[in-house]
Amino acid sequence: MNRQGELEFGARKPAPRALSVTQLVRMVRDALDVGLDECWVAGEVSNLRLAPSGHLYLTLKDARSSIAVVMFRTALERQRLRLTDGLQVLLRGRVSLYEARGMLQFYADEIQPRGLGALQLAFEQLKQRLSAEGLFDDARKRPLPFLPRTVGIVTALGGAALRDMLSTMLGRNPNVHVLIRPARVQGAGAAADVAQALADLNRDGRCEVIIVGRGGGSLEDLWAFNEESVARAIRRSNIPVISAVGHEIDYTIADFAADLRAPTPTAAGHLVMPARAELRQRLDETASTLVGAIRAAAAAYRKETAQLARGVRNPAPQLRQNRQRVDEYAAALKAAIGRAAERRRRHLEHLSQRLRAPLHVAREIRIRAARAALHLARSLTAMVQRERLTVAGLAAHLSRAPLRQRAQTHRLAIDRHQQHLLVAMRRALESRRHQLVQLAGRLDSLSPLKVLERGYAVAINTRDGRVITDAAAVEIGDELELRLKRGRIAAVTRSRQT
């Protein structure tokens, strides 16, 4: 329909050709590859990540923008600089598009630090890392042999450093044996060559010390001795190593790893080999010092011997006195032991008597009472017999009736007295028997063994054999013997309460 409201009819326009996502991404990638050649980009490193494949991934950013960066393993292995988050760097590479994600990426081929030289920064990073690992600790440093017979040298053939070291060592000691292991000291592969040379001399085993080094040069020229492989080869060496790289102002990683740093190759020759004249002078000085020390020591010993000789007397009288004193001490000790044994024996007998069975004591008392009664009966019988004989004699002489009557009266009186006496004797015996029974009962009730039957025990200190009645008389650690109703128990004092 036109502006006037009329309908218009015409042919349709063809639909535009649609691109796939892959085609679009490739077109952009190709445009980037053609329009943007290799370039340098400056920025700050972040999100640093090393993949298991060995490829490095990071983000390079500035104040307003960021871009993903990839460095493949082959390019990463050529870099001396170790990247960390926050490091300002310069990256050389190209921009392209990652088709799988349609993401813009920078593929880096080279990395350099901003502000500080790349080699210097790599040197500082490696030095800091190996130092933190303890590779430069003084405890790892080994002393050099005083006068080595065989010296190994790792350096380039034909260099001025080799000539300086040989002339110095042979001039100071013509008899020294030198083993030279040639190695490249500059350029690609030099670090691996130096490390292999150190390993070869260690495997040979004839060297007592090894000098590794070269003459002066720039930081790039000396860089082989700043490689980690050389530092670790020096520390792996079983032979002490002297680092002699460059001039006095030049410092390398090898200097820190070595057992000793020489300012120059010539100085290394001086350090490893003392001169004959110096040795002779040192020997003369040492001999003079030693002779003086020996003379002083001999004089001191001579003086001390003289003082001791004046103070020493004839020891024979003192020995005789000591022998006599020893005999006296032995006799006194023997007597003391005998007295102590006798005291112990008497004490044990006393304890045995105190601990006798009460039935045994009662039996003894009964026997003594029976003996007393028998003796009393015999005495009374004898007295009565004598009285009867007297009466019978009197009766024989007195035949008249009055006398018989009187005798009869006396006989009756005697019989009565005899009866009274027998009754009194029986009463006395019964009283004594009753008293004996009471005493036996009391003795039995007071007997220690009776007390033991009630669960008590008699404690005896084996240290002095005495019965313990007071806890204060016992020391901690004393051995005790506990006597029970049946048997004995040994115990040790652990504590006490007074």
List CB contacts of 49: < 8 A, sequence separation 6 or more: 56, 57, 58
13-17, 162-166, 202-206: which has the minimum mean pLDDT?
13-17
List CB contacts of 173: < 8 A, sequence separation 6 or more: 147, 273, 274, 275, 276
Q: Given this model, what pLDDT does residue 310 score?
A: 66
List CB contacts of 172: < 8 A, sequence separation 6 or more: 269, 270, 273, 274, 275, 276
Q: DSSP letters along 64-115, please?
A: S-EEEEEE-HHHHTT--PPP-TT-EEEEEEEEEEETTTTEEEEEEEEEEESS
Q: Pick the residue with more confidence: 40 or 319?
A: 40
Chosen domain end from 73, 89, 115:
115
Assess whether pLDDT exceeds 60 at residue 464: yes
Do 306 and 223 fall within a single domain?
Answer: no
Residue 174, domain CATH: 3.40.50.10550
Do 214 and 267 fall within a single domain?
Answer: yes
327: in domain: no
Domain coverage including residue 86: 21-115
106: in domain: yes
318: in domain: no
7: in domain: no
- What domain count does the chain have? 5
Do 201 and 235 fall within a single domain?
Answer: yes
Phi-psi region of 189 (alpha: psi -120 to 50; beta: other; left: phi over 0): left
> Cα separation of 44 and 69, whole Å?
11
Do 65 and 157 fall within a single domain?
Answer: no
1: in domain: no
- Please report which confidence band the pLDDT of residue 1 belongs to, taking 50, 70 and 90 as the band edges: very low
Average pLDDT over residues 353-360: 56
Assign 169 to helix, strand or coil.
Answer: helix
Do 199 and 268 fall within a single domain?
Answer: yes
Q: Pick the residue with more confidence: 280 or 52?
A: 52
Q: What is the mean pLDDT of the chain?
A: 77
Q: Given this model, what pLDDT does residue 240 score?
A: 92
Q: What is the pLDDT of residues 232-290, one digit of tens each?
A: 888 888 999 998 888 877 788 888 888 888 888 888 888 888 766 676 777 777 877 88
Do 225 and 138 fall within a single domain?
Answer: yes
Chosen domain end from 58, 80, 115:
115
> Cα separation of 411 and 403, whole Å?
12
Q: What is the pLDDT of residues 172-211, one digit of tens each?
A: 888 888 998 998 888 888 889 899 999 999 999 899 999 9
Do 77 and 186 fall within a single domain?
Answer: no
CA distances from 409 to 261, 415, 456 (A): 152, 10, 67
Q: Given this model, what pLDDT does residue 19 score?
A: 59
Average pLDDT over residues 109-123: 70
Query: Which position has the token pair 């490193």?
Result: 45
Do 466 and 420 fall within a single domain?
Answer: no
Q: Cα torsion at 428, 433, 434, 435 (round to 10°)? A: 90
Do 127 and 165 fall within a single domain?
Answer: yes
335: in domain: no
168 secondary structure, DSSP code: H
Helices marked H in 205-354 — which ranges? 228-236, 253-257, 265-272, 276-311, 316-354
- Please report which confidence band the pLDDT of residue 89 belongs to, taking 50, 70 and 90 as the band edges: confident
Is 43 exposed, middle or buried, given 0-12, 13-18 or 19+ CB atoms closer than 10 A? buried
Do 57 and 135 fall within a single domain?
Answer: no
Assess whether pLDDT exceeds 80 at residue 10: no
User: Is the dihedral angle over the CA atoms 251, 254, 260, 265 positive or is it negative?
Assistant: negative
336: in domain: no
Q: Given this model, what pLDDT does residue 210 score?
A: 92
Residue 95, domain CATH: 2.40.50.140
72-81, 90-99, 232-241, 344-353: which has the minimum mean pLDDT?
344-353
Q: Given this model, what pLDDT does residue 420 score?
A: 80
Q: Pick the residue with more confidence: 183 or 11?
A: 183
Assign 209 to helix, strand or coil.
Answer: strand
Average pLDDT over residues 405-423: 77
Do 102 and 138 fall within a single domain?
Answer: no
Chosen domain end from 66, 81, 115:
115
317: in domain: no
| 472 and 485 Cβ atoms separated by less than 8 Å | no
Q: Given this model, what pLDDT does residue 13 score?
A: 55
Do 71 and 194 fall within a single domain?
Answer: no
Model pTM score: 0.41
Q: What is the pLDDT of residues 295-354, one digit of tens each?
A: 788 777 777 777 776 665 566 666 666 666 776 777 777 787 778 778 777 776 666 665
Assess whether pLDDT exceeds 50 at residue 9: no
